[in-house]
Structures are given as C-alpha cells and as structure tokens.
C-alpha cells in the first residue's frame, strides 16, 4: 500500500478530459506482472547465451499476454543494443513479425515480405537474385528480367538482410506456421525455418498458443536447437498465483482514470471466472468496462459495468477446454510416470535398485550360463533320458 501511496494514479487534469482521452490513456499503459516477468526473463536468458540459429518457442494460452511480452522483449533488446548502434548504425537490433493467418495454407512468400518490411527494406516486390531464374535470355537472345520477385528471390533477400542487419527475430502468432496439411508438412515448415535461422546466424523467438506444442519434438535435431519457455495463466487453486492475480487487479483498479477507485479485488472470483487467469483477456475487458462507466458519466466502475462488458460464458468455456488440454500436454512429458519410463529406457531404474551401474553381459557369459543350466536343448524327436515303466500296464477302460 505504501508503494501505491507514493505512485501517481494518473495526471490530475485527466479527470476533466473527454471519455476517449481517458480511455486511450489507460489503454496506453503496459501492466507488467509476475508471470510475465518470469517468462520474459527466461526468454532473455536464452538469448544472452544463444548459439547461432537458436529457436526459442514461447507458448501459452490464448489471451495470456504474449503480444505484450513480445513488445517488451523488443524494447529491452533495443535498449541493450544502444552502445552497439553507436559503433555500427546499420544494425537493426530487433525485427517484429506477426504471422498472417492464411486463408488455407501458410505462405512463405508473405512471411519473407514481412521480415523485409520489419527491417525497413524498400522495393520488396522488386527483389531479384542473379542466381535464380529471375533473369534469362529469350529465344531471340534478349535478356529478360522478371518484373516481380519469386519466392526464392524473397528468401535470398530476407537471408541477406538478416545477415547484414543482425536482428533478433520475434515472430508473433507463430502457430500459423502449422496451418499446413499433414504431419510431414509440419516438419518441412520447421526445417525451413531452422535453415533460415541457421544460415543467417540469427536467433528466432516464436511466440504462439499451445498449438505450438507439436513443433517441440518433430525430430531430434530441432529439439536440440530449440529452447522452450512456457508463459502460463494464473491458477486459482495455487495460493501464490491466486494472490498474484489479486495484485494484478489491485494495480488495474488503482490506475483507472476514475474519480473513485473501483473495487476489483473484492470481485476477484467473478473476474477470474471470465478471464481464466489470463491478463491479456483482463486488459481488454477492463478497457470495455472503463469505457462503459465513463460513457454513463459515472465516477467509478461497478459490477453492472463488468457484467455489461464481460466475455460470454460460452466463449470462456471453450477457452478453458483449450487451455486445460494445452496444460496437460505441457505437463505430460514432465509427469512422474513419464520420467520413470524415460529413466527405465536409459537403464537407470535398475541401477538405483542395485546401487551400481550394471555391467553389459557378454555373449561368452551368456553361453557359459546356458551350458551350466540343468536343462539342455535337444533335437526334435530325441527322447528324454529316464527309466521306462516295466511290467504289465493296466489299460484304461
């Protein structure tokens, strides 16, 4: 509370401003919180010790705040690169690309264009390569230059620009890479992206929903090059996360440009029901609720405004199903039974039972063990060595 008392809620003259001025002021705020800070720190730690061609997979629920995290990451990368920029002003420290949602299948041509735009390249459609078929001679011996760049031209242009500008490439909505037909195609997508990262020697951060999870273990080579960062929601059944979520609400209610501070913390369960612990969803909802309260000329935000602007229950249920499925898939590989099976396949479970590493049994030891056994193998048709019955035998029946 002492921190809140020292911090300014908002400029005093903002109260007398028009509705949209006050709403825009609130919308411009970036509300950092513990879950975001932890995920951001993990991503930055991976980038600080990255190897050429590193791919960071940042995944979490829809609406958790991944886009905000990407923007904060870009800002931090640029700030850290300021001394380098003074020595080499040609460097662009970070490139932010939002993958377009395709009508049918993902299109690499559009992705290469987006990379070039993010690096302020010009005449993108005029990029041609002397090594491709963009230039050729016709039947009359005349040199013909294709007017528009082909996909191969755009790839080479993007690769060359990445090498010279040396950015960290942040790719938002990266789950759209998976909008292809068939599992083999998905592997091809990641191999193409891995090749782009490896040849350019630049790190790529792929941020997306839990639909990114199938990208993790497509093959061993990709797994070796990728670092995973989970950006989860706040869970109501975990005490520390529940209290952190309440702190987030406390910050929101404190920063709302209203005459009287609303009580969001006192209604945390109702708010949690509609956000499922995702701060991105909370942010959008609070903007709508604030606009509703200000439009009515109210001095504070009430339960009525929350109800008017709350996400629909059906959409909340759908999102909850998707989130739980994603969380189960994230936790499955780390589950105790999975770990036990993994250690068993490594041969470590037997070691723990005996207290030492078992030695590999040689073929000679197996042969000696077999020859020392009482039971010996015989050819088919050979009788067992035993005394036959003698004398008259009573016939059955």
Q: What is the dihedral of CA 56, 212, 68, 157, to 10 degrees?
A: 60
| Cβ proximity of 108 and 156 under 8 Å | no
| Cβ proximity of 302 and 258 under 8 Å | no
User: pLDDT above 90 covers what percent of the chain?
Assistant: 51
| More confident position, 88 or 246 | 246
Q: How far apart are CA 397 and CA 394, in angstroms?
A: 9
Residue 359's alpha-carbon distances to 215, 300, 348, in angstroms, are 37, 74, 12
Which of the four pLDDT bands, split at 50, 70 and 90, describes residue 90? confident
Which of the four pLDDT bands, split at 50, 70 and 90, describes residue 354? low
| More confident position, 133 or 321 | 321
Statement: residue 315 has pLDDT above 90: yes
The confidence score (pLDDT) of residue 215 equals 83
Statement: residue 348 has pLDDT above 60: yes
The confidence score (pLDDT) of residue 265 equals 97
Q: Could you please report the per-residue DSSP string of 4-40?
A: HHHS--S-GGGGGS-HHHHHHHHHT-----HHHHHHH
DSSP state of 52: T
Averaged pLDDT of the chain: 82
Residue 169's alpha-carbon distances to 12, 193, 337, 384, in angstroms, are 40, 12, 37, 77
Statement: residue 364 has pLDDT above 60: no
Which of the four pLDDT bands, split at 50, 70 and 90, describes residue 368? very low
| Cβ proximity of 199 and 159 under 8 Å | yes
Q: How far apart are CA 282 and CA 249, in angstroms?
A: 9
| More confident position, 283 or 185 | 283
pLDDT tens, position by position, 174-218: 999 887 766 668 888 888 888 899 999 999 999 999 999 888 777
| Cβ proximity of 391 and 383 under 8 Å | no
| Cβ proximity of 87 and 160 under 8 Å | no
Residues 6+ away with beta carbon under 8 Å from 186: 178, 180, 214, 215, 218
| Least confident range of 202-216, 260-274, 316-330, 342-356 | 342-356
Statement: residue 375 has pLDDT above 80: no
Closest C-alpha to 57, from 74, 36, 80, 39: 39
The confidence score (pLDDT) of residue 135 equals 61
The confidence score (pLDDT) of residue 379 equals 56
- The pLDDT of 381-387, averaged and rounded, is 56
pLDDT tens, position by position, 140-172: 777 666 556 677 878 888 999 999 999 999 999
DSSP state of 177: G
| Cβ proximity of 210 and 60 under 8 Å | yes
pLDDT tens, position by position, 93-118: 999 999 988 766 788 888 998 999 99
Structure tokens at 224: 């070796």
The confidence score (pLDDT) of residue 186 equals 80
The confidence score (pLDDT) of residue 201 equals 92
- The pLDDT of 62-81, averaged and rounded, is 95
The confidence score (pLDDT) of residue 1 equals 44
Q: How far apart are CA 27 and CA 284, in angstroms?
A: 9
- The pLDDT of 248-275, averaged and rounded, is 96
Q: What is the total residue count of the chain?
A: 397
| Least confident range of 122-131, 240-249, 277-286 | 122-131
Bridge-partner residues for 136, per DSSP?
144
Which of the four pLDDT bands, split at 50, 70 and 90, describes residue 220? low
Statement: residue 2 has pLDDT above 50: no
């Amino acid at each position: 509370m002492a921190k809140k008392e020292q911090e300014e809620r908002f400029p005093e003259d903002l109260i007398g401003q028009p509705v949209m001025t006050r709403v825009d002021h609130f919308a411009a705020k970036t509300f950092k919180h513990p879950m975001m800070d932890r995920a951001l720190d993990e991503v930055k730690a991976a980038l600080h010790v990255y190897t050429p061609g590193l791919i960071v997979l940042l995944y979490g629920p829809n609406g958790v705040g991944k886009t905000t995290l990407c923007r904060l990451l870009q800002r931090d990368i640029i700030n850290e690169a300021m001394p380098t920029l003074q020595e080499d002003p040609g460097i662009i420290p970070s490139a932010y690309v939002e993958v377009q949602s395709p009508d049918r299948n993902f299109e690499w041509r559009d992705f290469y264009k987006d990379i070039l735009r993010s690096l302020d390249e010009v005449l993108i459609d005029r990029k041609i390569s002397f090594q491709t078929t963009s230039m050729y001679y016709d039947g009359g011996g005349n040199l013909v230059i294709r007017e528009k760049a082909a996909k191969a031209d755009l790839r080479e242009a993007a690769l060359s620009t990445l090498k010279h500008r040396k950015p960290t490439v942040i790719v938002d909505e990266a789950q759209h890479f998976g909008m292809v037909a068939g599992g083999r195609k998905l592997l091809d997508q990641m191999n193409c992206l891995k090749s782009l990262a490896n040849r350019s020697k630049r790190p790529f951060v792929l941020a997306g929903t839990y639909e990114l999870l199938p990208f993790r273990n497509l093959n061993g080579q990709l797994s070796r090059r990728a670092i995973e960062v989970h950006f989860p929601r706040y869970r109501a059944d975990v005490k520390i996360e529940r209290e952190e979520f309440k702190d987030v609400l406390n910050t929101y209610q404190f920063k709302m440009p209203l005459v009287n501070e609303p009580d969001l913390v006192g209604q945390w369960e109702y708010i949690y029901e509609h956000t499922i612990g995702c701060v991105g969803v909370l942010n959008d909802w609070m903007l709508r609720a604030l606009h509703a309260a200000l439009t009515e000329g109210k001095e504070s935000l009430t339960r009525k405004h929350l109800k008017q602007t709350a996400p629909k229950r059906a959409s909340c249920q759908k999102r909850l199903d998707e989130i739980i499925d994603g969380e189960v898939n994230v936790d499955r590989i780390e589950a105790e039974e999975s770990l036990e099976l993994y250690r068993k396949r490594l041969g470590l479970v037997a070691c723990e039972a005996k207290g030492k590493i078992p030695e590999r049994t040689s073929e000679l030891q197996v042969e000696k063990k077999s020859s020392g056994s009482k039971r010996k193998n015989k050819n088919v048709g050979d009788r067992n060595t035993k005394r036959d019955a003698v004398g008259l035998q009573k016939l059955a029946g």
